[in-house]
Amino acid sequence: MTTPARSLRPPAEVTYAEELAALAANDPGERPTQWKLTPRAVRQFILGSDGAALSHVWQGKKTRTRITPKFLGDDALVERCLVTLLGQRGLLLVGEPGTAKSLLSELLSAAISGHSQFTIQGTAGTTDDQIKYSWNYALLLAEGPSPRALVPSPLFRGMQTGTLVRFEEITRCQPEIQDTLVSLLSDKALHIPELSGGDAVVFAERGFNLIATANLRDRGVHEMSSALKRRFNFETVQPLANKALELQLVKDQTEALLRDSGLKVECPVDVLEILVTTFQDLRLGRTEEGTVVEKPSTVMSTAEAVAVGHAAALDAAYFGQGRMEGAHVARQIVGTVLKDNPEDAKKLRQYFEVVVKARGQNQPSWQRFYESRKWLLR
């Protein structure tokens, strides 16, 4: 697969091509049919090799490659997901926005099937055709229905080739559209009544399965039919509870984003810690000291924390002195917290007046953060 060099975000199989090659070269066990790696190696791809390096030949040279941890905080969840995918049922990752459901489904597909490109992006406007197949109308009119005129969906191609298929935001689709999947997932066959003979049905090859994601905030899973629910194993992805892990993740990803854009910005740990602590306090509605704070209605996810970290670093690079400060964080947090509910502005100001102010009394970095509260007074 070719990805343009200027692609804003290459898929996981491109970003981690070297790691996947290292794992494949050091993976002697038996692989399930159509799996590119053993379940153990897929686990290592997602959770990392704990600093150990794997020897292999990469682009003609002997190399040692470390496997970086990519999904943090819940190793057992990753193992359960792998067990589900080894079985007959689909995997449904549910959770709050920004908990890395899509990331996990992409990583699983890239490691198991070699790519993560058979993806349906569910919306309220998703149609039956987008899930099954549609037609090239010029060919259809010229030749009538034929395999040549058929335009397969990602799911169709996944069934044909024994590949994992991703269904993003499945619950955004109308329930009747979701139900297209019910018989498809139990029969593991897709019927094409317009065609005849052997072309009229596609039987799923071994290796095919579905990884769906659903967000609990917008349109939850309650509208999903129980018939469809039964065809999935549900796994709930929780927000990162461990502050040290979240801090490490925000630091690593902010730095990686800066490297990608070729910018040098100093990101002091104490400033990133303020950012992560603020997110955790507002997410939980309680501070480490035990003070109760009002939770804003916006989701304070780790993905948002990374976005704020990156934006604060860009602010520091272009409008500051190349060093991230609390003021940059405060300026960027505003755009995350204040989305659609004016009440959230009050809650954020309250948090500054009660928690940030108190911490500032003995911690200079919190004091500077407190001093930048003018950015919240819009």
Among ligand ATP, Mg ion, none, what binds residue 251 when CB lies within 5 to 8 Å by partner kind? Answer: none
**171 vs 180, beta carbon nearer ligand ATP:** 171
Q: Mark residues 222-241: x for contact with ligand ATP by CB under 6 A, - for none.
A: ------------------x-
Secondary structure of residue 90 in the 3-state scheme: strand
- Using only the alpha carbons of the chain, give its radius of gyration: 24
Of ligand ATP, Mg ion, none, which one sits near residue 271, judging by CB under 5 to 8 A according to partner kind? none
- Helix 269-284 to helix 343-351 angle (10° resolution) is 130
For residue 81, state whether it binds ligand ATP (rule: CB under 6 A): no
Q: Minimal distance in Å, beta carbon 172 to Mg ion? A: 11
Q: Does 280 bind ligand ATP (CB under 6 A)?
A: no
Q: Residue 253: name its binding partner from ligand ATP, Mg ion, none (Cβ under 5 to 8 Å by kind).
A: ligand ATP
What's the min distance (Å) between Cβ of 165 and ligand ATP?
A: 16
Least distance to ligand ATP from the beta carbon of 237, Å?
A: 6
**CA 106 to chain CA centroid, nearest Å:** 7
Please tell me the count of residues contacting Mg ion according to CB under 5 A.
Answer: 1
Measured CA to CA, the distance from residue 48 to residue 19 in angstroms comes to: 10
Q: Which one of 102, 119, 287, 332 is in contact with Mg ion (CB under 5 A)? A: 102
Binder among 36, 101, 283, 310 for ligand ATP (CB under 6 A): 101
For tokens 């317009």, the residue is: 194
Helix (H) or strand (E) holding 127: none
In angstroms, what is the minimal distance from the CB of 250 to ligand ATP? Answer: 8
Compute the distance between CA of residue 297 and CA of residue 282 in angstroms, rounded to an integer.
Answer: 10
Q: Which residues of 302-325 are buried (b: 16+ CB within 10 A; e: fewer)?
A: bbbbbbbbbbbbbbbbeebeeebb
Under rule CB under 6 A, residue 303 binds ligand ATP: yes
Inter-CA distances, 165 with 77, 89, 180, 248, 351, Å: 19, 13, 15, 31, 43
Quote the CA–CA distance of 259 and 264 in Å, as a whole number.
7
Contacts to Mg ion by CB under 5 A: 102
